[in-house]
A and B are shown apart, each in its own frame.
Chain A
Amino acid sequence: MTRLATVCCKVLAALLAVAAAGCGGGGETEVVLVTHDSFAVSKDVKAAFEQETGLTLRILQAGDAGEALNRALLTAGDPQGDVLFGVDDSLLSRALDGDLFDEYRSPTLDAVEDAYAPPDDRVTPIDHGEVCVNIDRGWFAKRGLHPPRTLVELTLPRYRGLLVVENPATSSPGLAFLLATVAQYPDRWQGFWRKLRVNGVRVVDGWEEAYTQQFSGAAGSPGKRPIVVSYATSPAAEVIFAGKPLETSPTAAIEDGCFRQVEYAGVLRGAANDEGARKLIDFMLSELFQADVPGSMFVYPVRGGVPVPEAFELHAIRPADPLTLPPEEIEAGRDAWIDEWTAIVLR
């Protein structure tokens, strides 16, 4: 008992020391980025920022984009950090209406491609990603079947019981896929989903369950369904993280029905270090950061002329004309669409 107590005390002391050391920054010497779980940045890129600006970058991340936004809305005016990153098109109106941001127009904005220009001065686009249907190549090849190539083919009987999607009420890609169907079939999307239900679509709560547990094409997955809603870049990730060199990706993304998501960053109103916030946003549009974005977050840069890793060129698709919806329209219709969808698909 005494031995255990001594061990405990030593551990405690060590932790206290480390914690005290870590609690250094605050205020003018650090800038805090509030974001979601999918955010990632290479260590050397982060170090470059810190060296260039002399600021320490602290990252607070939890939950998906929607949850991160909700936490920011909860603390509007007295925010947890200085910059909020991860608001996408489907959430933009909510963020703007919640008066979360201070206006800031980065000088580097000129380098951004026109397609991704921000609809409002309070946010800055940083990256874009497409939510697309992914298929397991191997599964179809083994059975000599042609995989689906368009959205409407998902309702065909030959693909019965093969599709898994995420619940739009709880998942960001799930919502994006629903919005894709709304954008593709403005008057008939309910019928589309009714047909999907009849065709045995499986709904799960989030991307992790859908991709790592239900999708047969994911490495190490026990899943048996070869069609899943995921990202345009997922096939590239399967190659990069395969652990062994692969010629082709085991999965592929269908171009038809892809929905574009642009991700924005903004200076939080009431931030402790708004100058640092602005510097961070400038940095996020720099070539260094933009080039890091594919490898770290599996999305594409918004800045023109930034090279993309080879694996992406080879295995991922870059939809030329993905589906989109204006943020205000999304804001106005989202809740009703989700309710309708739930009634059609889940009840």
Chain B
Amino acid sequence: MDGDRPALRRTARAAVAGVPLVFLAVFFVWPLAAILERSLVEDGRLDLPFDVLVARETLDVTWFTLWQATASTALTLAAGLPLTWALARFSFPGRRLAEALVLIPFVLPTIVVATAFLAVLPDALEGTVWAILVAHVFFNVAVVVYLVGAFWGQLDGRVSDVAATLGADPARRFLAVTVPLLQPALAAAAAIVFLFSFTSFGVIVILGGPGYATLEAEIYNQAARLFDLRTAAVLALLQLAAVTAAVAVAGRLERRLGGGRTARSTPRRRPAGRERVVVTLVVAVSLALLAVPVAALVERSLSVPGGYGLDHFRALARETPALLVTPWHAVVNSFLFAGLAAAIALAVGLPAAAVAAGRRGGWLGMLVLLPLGVSAAMLGFGYLLAFDEPPLDLRGSPWLVPLAQALVAMPFVVRTVAPALRAVDDRLREAAAVLGASPARVRREIVLPLVAPALGAAAAIAFAVALGEFGATVFVARADWPTLPVAIFRFLGRPGAENVGQAMALAVTLAGLTVAVALAAARARAGRGWRP
């Protein structure tokens, strides 16, 4: 169908799949292999401490990690779907702003959010598992809104209309028609939220306290603090196995439904009648809940001796002993790094999405998720071991930061764009081909405009992920090139009202700039004319 000869087509496809595979091989598999080898291979023999695997503590920790991740995922989906519905199906003034605001929790470093949460959480919840679950929902709602929303916008609304004529009320229509159609995107979002919650570290540690331990926290303890690499490595392998299983299950779920193939997607419309009330309620309540911790942050950033003022913000442009550069520099660094990381993630993720969207490409969509499920501590160590000589002597290079961030952001690109690609009706491609369009022209003029919204969403969320990334960055960052999360962390590591205030001011700046970028991206998308 496309390409002159089947052989040429196969080579082209292999080359396209090769881009993400090479990226994963170099920046994921190789460092991981390096640290595992160092931890588990003694005198050329594999030395797996099986006793750790079957120890009581390991089983307890694994069980807790599993169920809190599952609960977090379920809660996040439940909490996020109403908001996604409102933002994806309707147009109303302020919609784009609301969509951008949802990203804020996602980019804020855990320690900042934890501070805010502690300020607003009722005492009874502090240190309980509910604090952890609520925090997970707070962080991950953005994943649902962006991944599911992009897909929802492409569904054919006529199917739901048919159900209405058959006597189904809105609730039944939602559950019996819309949700099944959304399954691919739901599975994609659920997989990512699960992985994030599974490998969650800061939230567990700060909000849960020492009473709760997850695999990731244990691995970090063993590797980075106690330097017991053997135990850390075997726990990391256990974590990787659990993650791979979860990803495989998610993939099966996704494959079961082919996806809402339509030539017509229903454009957004103004909410009418009772819908107006519901939409307003949903958006207002969701945003209010998300805003509460953020409001606490803003309040702290503005609180100066004697009331409120902008002193902390003004201080961002000044030198401070906490950093080698002015804090404003950290803001600029973060944005440059995140932009670069998003670009790399797109460059690597788009070919992966193209392959993953194909009939037999599902495995690649699964493979790219694995970096999200691997312990950041082990991977960081792996970087130290693997990249120590040319041609990849990257250990001290600032390039490692965007590369590490891109590794984490790439799955989002794939998971956002692949379902959208799959949803493009084959017949549209065929219609174009029959009219004389070469495969390249079909991609350029038919496929690309139809998936443009998904591309925009992918870029925005990749940028946000890179911006808020802390785990891997902290391992490879250089003091003269600090990123925002690192700078905030350093401020919070020093006592004093000014330091805390500046940390809060930086966090608020981070949030504000993220919203601005997200809005600009949305506007650039819209400027192209057609939007679903």
| Whether chain A touches chain B in the assembled complex (some CB pair under 8 Å) | yes
Interface residues of A (CB under 8 A from B): 1-4, 7-8, 11-12, 14-15, 18-19, 22-23, 32, 37-38, 40-43, 46, 58-63, 66-67, 70-71, 73-75, 78, 80-81, 94, 167, 169-170, 202-209, 211-213, 218-222, 230, 234, 237-238, 240-244, 295-296, 298, 335, 346
Which partner residue on chain B sits nearest A342 by CB separation? Answer: B210
With A66-B224, A237-B496 already in contact, 4 other A-B pairs whose C-beta atoms are closer than 8 Å: A237-B495, A241-B496, A242-B496, A298-B494
Q: Is the Cβ of A80 less than 8 Å from the Cβ of B395?
A: yes
Q: Is the Cβ of B225 less than 8 Å from the Cβ of A67?
A: yes
Which partner residue on chain B sits nearest A221 by CB separation? Answer: B500
B-side interface mostly: helix
Q: Is the Cβ of B398 less than 8 Å from the Cβ of A23?
A: yes
Q: Does B521 contact A (CB under 8 A)?
A: yes
Q: With the chains together, A207 CA to B490 CA distance in Å?
A: 12
Q: With the chains together, A176 CA to B267 CA distance in Å?
A: 63
A-B contact count (CB 8 A): 180
Q: Is the Cβ of A4 less than 8 Å from the Cβ of B521?
A: yes
Q: Is the Cβ of A19 less than 8 Å from the Cβ of B495?
A: no
Q: Is the Cβ of A3 less than 8 Å from the Cβ of B524?
A: yes
CB-CB under 8 A from A40, the residues of chain B are 321-322
Q: Say which residue of A15, A170, A208, A219 sits within 8 Å of B221 (CB atoms).
A: A170
Which partner residue on chain A sits nearest B381 by CB separation? Answer: A74
Q: Is the Cβ of A46 less than 8 Å from the Cβ of B324?
A: yes
CB-CB under 8 A from A244, the residues of chain B are 305-306
Which partner residue on chain B sits nearest A170 by CB separation? Answer: B225
CB-CB under 8 A from B227, the residues of chain A are 66, 70, 73, 94
CB-CB under 8 A from B196, the residues of chain A are none
CB distance from A135 to the nearest CB of B (A): 14
CB-CB under 8 A from B524, the residues of chain A are 1, 3-4, 7
Indicate the member of A46, A167, A243 with the most B CB atoms within 10 Å.
A243
- The 8 A CB mask of B476-501 against A (1 = contact, 0 = none) is 01111100000001101111111111
Q: Is the Cβ of B225 less than 8 Å from the Cβ of A66?
A: yes
Which residues of B (384-410) have their CB < 8 Å from a CB of A? Answer: 384-385, 388, 395-399
Q: Is the Cβ of A58 less than 8 Å from the Cβ of B480?
A: yes
Q: Is the Cβ of B456 less than 8 Å from the Cβ of A241?
A: no
Q: Does B436 contact A (CB under 8 A)?
A: no
Q: With the chains together, A94 CA to B250 CA distance in Å?
A: 44
Which partner residue on chain B sits nearest A81 by CB separation? Answer: B396
CB-CB under 8 A from B223, the residues of chain A are 70
- The 8 A CB mask of B426-469 against A (1 = contact, 0 = none) is 00000000000000000000000000100110010000000000
Q: With the chains together, A218 CA to B500 CA distance in Å?
A: 9
Given A1-B528, A58-B478, A71-B381 in contact, is the A204-B209 Cβ separation under 8 Å? Answer: yes
CB-CB under 8 A from B481, the residues of chain A are 22
Which residues of B (305-352) have their CB < 8 Å from a CB of A? Answer: 305-306, 311, 319, 321-322, 324, 336-337, 339-340, 342-343
Q: Is the Cβ of A240 less than 8 Å from the Cβ of B115?
A: no
Q: Is the Cβ of B115 less than 8 Å from the Cβ of A213?
A: yes
Q: Is the Cβ of A22 less than 8 Å from the Cβ of B398?
A: yes
Q: With the chains together, A6 CA to B92 CA distance in Å?
A: 29
Q: With the chains together, A234 CA to B494 CA distance in Å?
A: 9
Q: With the chains together, A73 CA to B384 CA distance in Å?
A: 11
Counting from the closest, the 5 A-B pairs by CB-CB distance are: A241-B496, A219-B497, A59-B479, A244-B305, A241-B498
Q: Does B205 contact A (CB under 8 A)?
A: yes
Q: Is the Cβ of B500 less than 8 Å from the Cβ of A237?
A: no
CB distance from B35 to the nearest CB of A (A): 8
Indicate the member of B119, B396, B495 with the most A CB atoms within 10 Å.
B495
CB-CB under 8 A from B343, the residues of chain A are 8, 11-12
Which partner residue on chain B sits nearest A220 by CB separation? Answer: B500
Q: With the chains together, A172 CA to B387 CA distance in Å?
A: 29
Q: Is the Cβ of A38 less than 8 Å from the Cβ of B221?
A: no
Q: Does B21 contact A (CB under 8 A)?
A: no
CB-CB under 8 A from A75, the residues of chain B are 384-385, 388
Q: Does B226 contact A (CB under 8 A)?
A: yes
CB distance from B241 to the nearest CB of A (A): 24
Q: With the chains together, A12 CA to B459 CA distance in Å?
A: 14
Q: With the chains together, A341 CA to B111 CA distance in Å?
A: 26
Which partner residue on chain A sits nearest B504 by CB separation? Answer: A220
Q: With the chains together, A62 CA to B404 CA distance in Å?
A: 15
Q: Say which residue of A8, A222, A242 sits within 8 Å of B305 (CB atoms).
A: A242
Q: Is the Cβ of A80 less than 8 Å from the Cβ of B115?
A: no
Q: Is the Cβ of B479 less than 8 Å from the Cβ of A234?
A: no
- The 8 A CB mask of B511-532 against A (1 = contact, 0 = none) is 0000000000100110110000
Q: Say which residue of A1, A18, A23, A58 sits within 8 Å of B336 (CB atoms).
A: A18
Q: Is the Cβ of B399 less than 8 Å from the Cβ of A19?
A: yes
Q: Say which residue of A42, A74, A202, A241 sits within 8 Å of B497 (CB atoms).
A: A241
Q: Is the Cβ of A213 less than 8 Å from the Cβ of B114?
A: yes
CB distance from B298 to the nearest CB of A (A): 13
